[in-house]
Amino acid sequence: MIEFRNVSRTYGRKLAVDGLDLTIRDGELFAFLGPNGAGKTTSIKMLVGLLRPSSGELRVCGFDVVKESQQANSLLGYIPDEPYLYDKLSGREFLLFVAGMFGLASRAAEERVTREIARFDLASFVDDLCESYSHGMKQRVALAGALLHDPEVLVLDEPTVGLDPRSVRLIKDLLRARAAAGTTVFMSTHSLAIAEEIADRVGIVHQGRLRFVGTVGELRQQSERMGQASLEQMFLEMTGGLAEGASSALLTPGAGEGQL
């Protein structure tokens, strides 16, 4: 379970996240939607302990991410929007390094690395240096690393941006399978289409404030009540329209799905 309790974060005079109250249940796949600069990445960085909230409290499976960071972090898997690997390690060496960081014994580490190589179809390049990888390859290795310790909570920041359709499909299927197995999944995305396809609930954030939380069906009902012709128009209405960075191209199927 993830809990944001009246969480705010400022950068100087700029209020990036404004009183965020949000609970994501065990086994839920939650999509956090909003244009660039809405506060999505700041919220995620606070959740995984990379930033401290200016006020409020965040909890992962009951542990305060500031006061009980070690316990909270041990239950988290995190994939940033730009996956970082060590260029002079191979993918396999990177995964073994991550397994060691999570305290897995040598035999268990080898078994889980082998498991993730198969799951993400990494065998054809996992023994090459990471410096030779495309963005899509890096993203798949980063995902494999985040799952090595079987986290109870998986946090992903824009996981499908820059990926080819096959990789996007793999990630969609993986996230649904993880949620079905009981993992809490929290992902940010620009793509309303992806959220509509796989998320149990969505949250729409704009200028640091949560504008909507609910199922896509509930969003559609609200759209109809407000006389909006489509979910896309509803999203744009909530997030200030195209002028504030929410390109309509990012709200349609296949958005953000580039080439490896």
What ranges do the domains of the chain cover?
2-75+154-251, 88-150
What are the φ and ψ backbone dihedral angles of 22, each rounded to 5 degrees? -160, 135
pLDDT of residue 168: 87
What is the secondary structure of 153-213 as a DSSP string? EEEEESTTTT--HHHHHHHHHHHHHHHHTT-EEEEEES-HHHHHHH-SEEEEEETTEEEEE
**Which stretches of the chain drop beneath a pLDDT of 50?**
242-260
pLDDT of residue 219: 82
Total number of residues shown for the chain? 260
pLDDT of residue 230: 66
pLDDT of residue 135: 87
* pLDDT tens string 37-56: 889 999 999 999 999 999 99
CB 216 within 8 Å of CB 25: no
Give the CB-side neighbour count of residue 88, counting CA atoms within 13 A. 0
Q: SS3 helix, strand, coil % of the chain, rounded to 5?
A: 40, 25, 35
3-state secondary structure of 106: helix
Assigned CATH for 2-75+154-251 = 3.40.50.300
